[in-house]
A = this chain, B = another copy of it.
Amino acid sequence: MSHIHSETEKKILAAAKEVFLRRGKDGARMQEIARQAGINQALLHYYFRNKDTLFATVARHLIRDFLETIFSSQPEAPTFREFLQQFISNYIDHLSSNIEVSRFILWELERGGDVMVEEIRALQEQHGKGVFPMQQRIAKAVAQQEIRSLEPEHLIMSIIGMCAYPYIARPVVERIFRLPDVTSREFRDRRKQEVFQVLWNGIRRSS
């Protein structure tokens, strides 16, 4: 993997990222990417053989950045309760200010999720043990009896599902439930609180 990036190549990658995020792989037009990069279509094919190559490069970067932001730098909270609260807050804030990335990841999942899976695997190796960093944190909390016995994978699915849903089903949430803009401070704070309250009471040992 070459890391020598000419000025033109950087412009192309930046333009491609924007267009692919906005329109998806199939919706994106090579012409639009070229125009946005201030070059012509032939030069685009000179740098990246074809659309597939260009898309693969962009998708890999986008997904890697997303995963690293969310799962790599995890809150170093002393208790699992605080860890959970901070993770939910970070995750909702990040989804909220990167709505196009969430949509892009959905597209990628519909396409089969291959890039997603590969990047997660790479992240796992990087952190050793071949598991999600978060999986270990949860397993530890169970072992130390901070929370009731459960399968970490299921808890992770629950957290992500609850946090991500409003951003996936935004039209329904905003127009049917008549809730405020899902990116607004008001909505985010309310949602964070509700997600945490349900989850924490749902997994704590005291029940």
Which A residues contact B (CB, under 8 angstroms)? Answer: 26-27, 103, 106-107, 109-110, 112-114, 116-117, 120-121, 132, 150-151, 153-158, 160-166, 168-173, 175-177, 179, 190-191, 194-195, 197-203, 206-207
Contacts and interface: CB of A to CB of B under 8 A. Distances in A.
Nearest to A168: B109
Contacts of A200: 202
Contacts of A151: 190, 194
Contact of A175 (B103, B117, B166, B169): B117
Given A162-B162, A198-B202, A202-B198, A117 B157 contact: no
A98 to B, nearest CB: 16
A6 B61 CA distance: 52
Nearest to A156: B177
A116 B172 contact: yes
A191 B120 contact: no
B207 A201 contact: yes
B203 A198 contact: yes
A157 B150 contact: no
A110 B117 contact: no
Given A194-B151, A197-B202, A171 B103 contact: no
Contacts of A165: 157-158, 160-161, 164
A114 to B, nearest CB: 8
A51 B202 CA distance: 47
Contacts of A117: 171-172, 175-176
Contacts of A177: 153, 156-157
A176 to B, nearest CB: 5
Interface centre among A26, A153, A203 (most CB of B within 10 A): A153
A122 B199 CA distance: 33
Given A157-B165, A198-B158, A176 B207 contact: no
Contacts of A197: 202
B172 A162 contact: no
